[in-house]
A and B are shown apart, each in its own frame.
Chain A
Amino acid sequence: MKASNRSSFQSSQREMPLLQQWIQQLHLDFPLLVALFILALTGLIVLYSASGQDVIEVQKQSMRLGVGFVIMFFLAQLAPQTLQRWSLPLFILTIILLILVLIVGVQVKGAQRWLDLYLFRFQPSEIMKLIAPMALAWFLAETALPPRFFRLMASLVLLAIPVVLVAVEPDLGTSLLIASSGFFVLFLAGLRWRILAGASILLAIMAWPIWEYVLRDYQRTRVLTFLNPENDPLGAGYHIIQSKIAIGSGGLFGKGWLNGTQSQLDFLPERHTDFIFAVFSEEFGMLGGIMLLILYLFIILRGMFIAAEAKDTFSRLLAGSISLTFFVYIFVNIGMVSGLLPVVGVPLPLISYGGTSIVTLLAGFGILMSIHTHKKMLSP
């Protein structure tokens, strides 16, 4: 059985180009890999412009991408079953780290997100973006789907712990991403529509107390500013006004690489981190924006395809969640930069400058590739 499987596998690969074959043997996914490379390269090109042609920043970002791709490669070698087995211990460990962050973490710009490990600093909340869906997928895959009510409630509690811990750091963006990654697992696991509807109504009712007691001042300002940025043109609304001007003045074809006045003239704050899409749109216009969205869409669809192809529940849920969360990044970031959504610190995946998100994202794709390339040998 196994032997025949392998021979048919090999015969089907015969027409493949040599490179693609190697990539397959390295447990990598060729289409995904190519798309990610193009994306990373685009990111570096935009970053060069957004950072004011700072070669050193570009080098640093390349280093981070390199580290990300290496981690992706290693995770791709790891069978999904190993991850499944380690889900709970990893989850508990990361929860402990999140608590540690609140006690002994390093404060940067008023938020306590970092653990100083002497050699380097890292954000446990970033890892949680992958560990939370992993733990939830493991938990739900234990029984038949769709989950029963009590298992569903237990999963919600499981998810609430990291979401709350990260929210109080405070890091609303990451908290939101963890919450959505967990939600996607539940949704893909077959969360009933009527429960979903009920939860939505409940959330709407709870919106007021959350607004009043959970959100911090600066988070409330962001929402208020989002609703009417022109009210506060020099304060919190400045980001949004300037980035809208950048995108809008880019037009259909853009002002050309390195020629964006809004970004080059220091008007855009955080233009190489969270607001890099504004630089991109100003310089490459709507056509560039559409191309970027197509590239992103391709990656998401490929991810969903890998999920659908997966042969076990854990892999399927995890792969689906990773792909959908990837979209959340894109939507929240572009929505924020273009004034559709309030300003929430979510980077544009693989384009924004900054270390941890790149590594986490690429690690996620490593898991996707592992799921895709390990399934044949382990199928029942």
Chain B
Amino acid sequence: MRREQLKDHYSEARLFNNRAIVSIIMILILLAIVLTRMVYLQIIDHNHYTTLSNDNRVKLVPIGPTRGLIYDRNGILLAENQATYRLEIIPEKVNDMEALLQQLATMIEIREHDLNQFRKALRQKRTFENIPLRFRLNDTEVAKISAIQHRLPGVHIVAGLSRHYPLGKSFAHVLGYVGRKDVQDLKLIDKTNYISTSHIGKSGIEKFYETHLHGTVGYQQVETNAQGRILRVLQQTQPTAGKDLQLTIDAPLQAIAEQALGEYSGSIVTIDTRSGEVLTLVSNPGFDPNLFVNGIGYKEYDALSNSDRRPLYNRALHGRYPPGSTIKPFVGLAGLKYGITNEHYEIYCPGYYIIPFGEERKFRDWKRSGHGIVDLDDSITESCDVYFYDLALNLSIDRISPFLGSFGFGNKVNIDMPSENAGLLPSRQWKRARKHQPWFPGETLNTGIGQGFLLTTPLQLAQATATFANQGKAVQPHIALDQVVLPKEKTIDPLLASVDAHHWSYITRAMTHVVHKHKGTARHIANDQFKMAGKTGTAQVFGIKQEEKYDAESIDVKLRDHALFIAFAPADKPRIAIAVVVENGGSGGAIAAPIAAKIINHYMTSESS
């Protein structure tokens, strides 16, 4: 306060005013400099800069990487990039857009859909950006446009690469397909890296190995003239092409499998038992994945998705089928392991089974007249249901369910594909939780012959067969040859580790009898070259209980049983395991087993040669 009194407010204000005036003068001088600069740039050098602005246009153009190719295990090309041409228009270069569109429509086919997409983009994009009007021009169309392109300013034919699957529908369910990236995809990807990538893996291997196949975007700094034409490249960062991918699939074997299945709907999965490499993955019927690459038409898609035979449905990974009698070797093994039965235990099969002290309900054998006196070996060879009714009942579901679980039933295989079904392994707990009902003994009987609630996918069945062939040692099924995602070592479930070696060989022997003994259900597929261990299955599509919705859609036409067959070969030193499911094929021995034999024979002969 004392100091405050010493202040001379008047002189301070005057001092301030002086300084303020000096400041304002300075400001005016500096503004004059700015103004001079503006005059210099905008008046004196205006023409120079206008020229620069018109002529010298430096742009940064992203270059999308080339997608990696996909080969089969032999190096046969499964997915390639083909040169295609599309027509693009730069709106700012066009005087009369409607007239131009009309003119173009007289020369090339422009569909309503193309036009709508174009008009939508026209509203959203800036006028100097290229907007595509037509994709995949054919050679004639390219020629027509090129001939008069000088009279069509703003119209460009742009070369690009488009994904193509040379083997078409054979590999549709393995490879999947790429399609235009959409809003959903944009959420999952690095937008910068995909800035000039139009397509992205939508299903199958293309989706699962998207990052592997895609690569990294590059940039080009280019100089363009007033028309936007690139004059020269100033600087370039090359894109890193996507890596190629080799699959474990054997394309010739896949072709044979597909051919063997013929017109039937169904699935064939073949696994190399030593490595887990999937040799064939067939799901019939297939579809042409090339249709999806550049957007499938509404009608075409409708036809595919509404077809009774469901070609878009990947049966190998998603189809849930009752395994039928193919489950018997697994249940038989459980019987030996838990001492419920042994190699000498025999029963009399009258053609039906009645639960002791239960209600008077007859569980029928598939053979009405019965199998007579049978042991476990006979029961697998001839596929006696009664023996397995008895065995299952004594085992109880509480032992069957975990034992089947140790083979992978009820669990996803975790193959390197985007999605798969886990099938259904019923248990007492499952039934209580899902159906709010207790478990009935009759349901144990049904489970024992692979009917009832039990459902497996063909892939699961093939995996379980491979595990069986390896006497419990599980290999991880996979489709990419050099995959790094999945474990490579064999694993063994503790439950299976505790199974006696001679129990494994007993069941394996019984399975060879299925093929090689005169009473075997698949005796007609035997050959002298090598021993095969197999098991037929004939699964009822419509039982007493409600079945999967999938079949229920076409009840009246499809009442026949599913034919199944599992096998591995050679029986003593397995190399290959297979699961065949033929929808509504009828008898497993008559229909499914010969299909499997064709594939195994081809594999064994081609491998040994």
Contact = CB atoms under 8 A, between A and B. Distances in A.
Contact of A286 (B39, B59, B221): B39
B46 A251 contact: yes
Given A266-B59, A267-B58, A331-B30, A52 B50 contact: no
A188 B16 contact: yes
Residue among B31, B48, B126 with the most chain A CB within 10 A?
Answer: B31
A340 B33 contact: yes
Interface in A236-275: 238, 242, 244-252, 261-262, 264-267
Interface in B1-38: 3, 6-9, 12-13, 15-17, 19-20, 23-24, 27, 30-31, 33-35, 37-38
Contacts of A238: 58
A142 B3 contact: yes
B41 interface: yes
B6 A144 contact: yes
A304 B24 contact: yes
A339 B59 CA distance: 22
Interface string A306-323: 011000010011001000
Contacts of B7: 143-145, 313
B38 A247 contact: yes
Interface in A286-315: 286, 289-290, 293, 297, 300-301, 304, 307-308, 313
Interface of B is mostly: helix
B149 interface: no
Given A234-B235, A285-B42, A320 B35 contact: no
Contact of A248 (B50, B128, B235): B50
Among B16, B39, B56, B234, residue most surrounded by chain A Cβ atoms (within 10 Å): B16
B49 A249 contact: yes
B16 A307 contact: yes
Contacts of B52: 245, 248-249
Contacts of A300: 24, 27
Contacts of B429: none
Q: Contact size class for A?
A: 35 or more
A328 to B, nearest CB: 10
A52 B35 contact: no
A31 interface: no
Interface in B81-106: none
B37 to A, nearest CB: 5
B373 interface: no
Contacts, number: 139
Contacts of B48: 248
A181 interface: no
A190 B38 contact: no
B19 A187 contact: yes
A285 B37 CA distance: 13
A244 B50 CA distance: 11
B9 to A, nearest CB: 8
B259 interface: no
Given A234-B235, A249-B49, A188 B12 contact: no
Contact of A297 (B16, B31, B58): B31
Given A245-B53, A266-B59, A327-B27, A316 B16 contact: yes
B57 to A, nearest CB: 6
Contacts of B15: 145-146, 189-190
B55 to A, nearest CB: 10
B227 to A, nearest CB: 12
A265 to B, nearest CB: 6
A262 B31 contact: no
B13 A52 contact: no
Interface in B210-229: 221
A178 interface: no
B101 to A, nearest CB: 24
Contacts of A250: 42
B42 A247 contact: yes
B31 A188 contact: no
Contacts of A290: 35, 38
A72 interface: no
Contact of B12 (A184, A246, A313, A340): A313
A28 interface: no
A122 to B, nearest CB: 28
Contact of B126 (A264, A286, A313): A264
Nearest to A380: B9
11 contacts: A144-B6, A144-B7, A234-B234, A247-B49, A248-B45, A249-B50, A252-B46, A290-B35, A293-B34, A338-B38, A340-B34
Closest 10 CB pairs of A and B: A248-B49, A249-B53, A248-B41, A286-B42, A249-B49, A249-B50, A251-B46, A144-B7, A190-B15, A245-B52
Given A143-B7, A248-B52, 20 more contacts: A146-B15, A187-B23, A188-B16, A188-B23, A190-B15, A234-B221, A242-B58, A244-B49, A246-B53, A262-B53, A264-B126, A265-B57, A266-B59, A267-B58, A286-B39, A320-B19, A324-B27, A331-B34, A339-B41, A340-B33
